[in-house]
Amino acid sequence: MLNFNNTEIAFKSKSNGHLLWSWFLFSLLSKASLVKLINKLLSFALKIKLPIGWLVRPTVYGHFVGGESIKDCKNVVEQLGEFNVKAILDYSVEGKESEEDILNALNETLQSIKNAARNPNIPFAVFKPTAFTTANVLEKVSAGMDLSDEEKTEADNFRNRIDTLCKAAHDADLPILIDAEDSWFQKFIDEVVTDMMQKYNKEKAIVYNTLQMYRHDRLDYLKKDYEKAVAGNYFLGMKFVRGAYMEKERERAIEKGYPSPIQPDKESTDRDYNAALRFCIEHIDKISVFNGTHNEYSSNYLAELMEEAGLEKNDSRTFFAQLYGMSDHISFNLANYGYNVAKYVPYGPVKHVMPYLFRRAEENTSVAGQTGRELSLIIQERNRRKKKS
């Protein structure tokens, strides 16, 4: 059993001042009503185009985001690397659908691939597929609806853009993570990602799909995907997360009158998540696994599975990851034990990254024990440092 409670290791990258600020921030995030009020006020300020960068940049933005550009993230990448924690730069601009915005996102992601290929502290590239077409096209293709000629062209454009990114990653010998989206977009995304795996994963896993295990069909999907990979003689790259859109998914299912794709309870999600990890390690000759979780049990469980299978801690086919600004006790302790660990480091202009920050703030108030755990560990480390001094 790994020990994630060593706060000296968990917070060794943080100064006393930074630790005090983290305590203050998570104290605020523990107040759900206050977080909702602040999110509403900031959303309104963005809507009427008030300049809020001066307020957000040194506070919540600075804690959860690496900077406004790849260059701005350089210090974060280097600081994490000093403690054997890698960084994955995630261009977190959302909700843009114009052709200009799509091309900007494409060029930015290509730049992030080139940047990662030059830096051993950045082991993966990543992107959100919704950045590369319209929600309308993703939804209609996923639902099997008839498309206009214009929509068919746009669907082909989406496929070609994803191919451009995956080819660039393959040519750079850099694994690339393709994030999961809402379930009503995911069918088309899964089809495209599978095509990319067939094309670029002939020698090893370069292209990774993401499975949100709060969906009750994802464990079965994993097993069928494995069968396809065996039959097609290619490798699978699989990133696992529990999921980020549960309330929206359930509300839409009720509104539209179809069965909810979400697991009935957290225990079912946890069961399938851990079963997926076991399946991957049992088939590690064909599957590379990316364990994206803030869950201590699932982090420890993968380590146990690796030991049972006789795998080295730094086996290149396994990676652990947490979001920047959260769960340092997992990330830094795993890295200290010698496992492959990375932080997801979002970046982008303040006004465009706000939707991401709203989700992080709400997640920290809604996920059972998340903020309390962060606070208790920070307090523990501050007390330890006071006694030492």
Give the per-residue pLDDT at 39: 65
- Residue scoring higher pLDDT (31 or 308): 308
- Per-residue confidence (pLDDT) for residue 172, from 0 to 100: 98
Convert the pLDDT of each residue in 66-91 to its tens digit: 999 999 999 999 999 999 999 999 99
pLDDT value of residue 78 = 97
**Mean pLDDT score, 44-72:** 77
The distance from CA 310 to its chain's CA centroid, rounded to whole angstroms, is 28
Using alpha carbons only, give the angle 139, 143, 149 rounded to the nearest 5 degrees: 70
What is the DSSP code string of 244-309?
S-HHHHHHHHHHHTS---B-SSHHHHHHHHHHHHHHHHHTTTTEEEEEE---HHHHHHHHHHHHHT
**Residue 135 to residue 118: CA distance in whole angstroms:** 33
Among the residue ranges 319-323, 324-328, 344-348, 372-376, the one predicted with the least confidence is 372-376
Q: Is the pLDDT score of 248 beyond 80? A: yes
Residue 370: the pLDDT is 67
Q: Tell whether the model's pLDDT for residue 50 goes beyond 70.
A: no
- Among the residue ranges 10-14, 25-29, 43-47, 178-182, the one predicted with the least confidence is 43-47
Taking Cα atoms as reference points, which of 273, 285, 276, 344 lies closest to residue 317? 285
Triad 37, 38, 42: Cα angle to 5°: 120
Question: pLDDT confidence of 244, banded at 50, 70, 90?
Answer: confident
Identify the burial level of 75 via C-beta atoms within 10 angstroms of its C-beta, where 0-12 means exposed, 13-18 middle and 19 or more buried. exposed
For residue 246, pLDDT beyond 90: no
Whose CA is closest to 162, among 142, 188, 136, 143? 188
What does the pLDDT average to over 11-23? Answer: 92
Average pLDDT over residues 11-33: 86
SS3 assignment, position 238 = strand
Could you read off the pLDDT of 106-152 as tens digits, one per residue? Answer: 999 999 999 999 999 999 999 999 999 999 999 999 999 999 999 99
Lowest average pLDDT, out of 39-48, 54-63, 131-140, goes to 39-48
Look at residues 95, 94, 91 and name the one whose alpha carbon lies nearest to residue 113.
91
pLDDT of residue 11: 96
* Average pLDDT over every residue of 244-270: 93
**Averaged confidence pLDDT in the chain:** 91
Percent share of the chain, pLDDT over 90: 77
What's residue 1's pLDDT?
73
- Among the listed residues 52, 117, 59, the one whose alpha carbon sits nearest the alpha carbon of residue 89: 117
The domain limits of the chain are 66-351
How far apart, in Å, are the Cα atoms of 22 and each of 6, 28, 311? 17, 10, 36
Predicted confidence (pLDDT) at residue 29 exceeds the cutoff of 80: no
Give the sheet arrangement for strand 125-127, strand by strand: 86-91, 341-347, 318-323, 287-292, 236-241, 207-212, 176-178, 125-127
Please compute the mean of the pLDDT values over residues 307-325 and round it to a whole number. 97
CATH class entry, domain 66-351: alpha beta
**Rounded average pLDDT over 266-270:** 96
Per-residue pLDDT at 45 exceeds 70: no
Phi-psi label, residue 22: left if phi above 0, alpha if psi -120 to 50, beta otherwise: alpha
Helix ranges (H only) for the chain are 7-10, 16-29, 32-47, 53-56, 62-64, 74-81, 99-117, 135-142, 149-171, 183-200, 218-232, 246-256, 266-282, 296-308, 328-337, 350-366, 370-388
Rounded-to-10 torsion of CA 139, 142, 143, 146: 80
Burial class (CB in 10 A: 0-12, 13-18, 19+), 86: buried
Give 368's pLDDT tier (boundaries 50, 70, 90).
very low
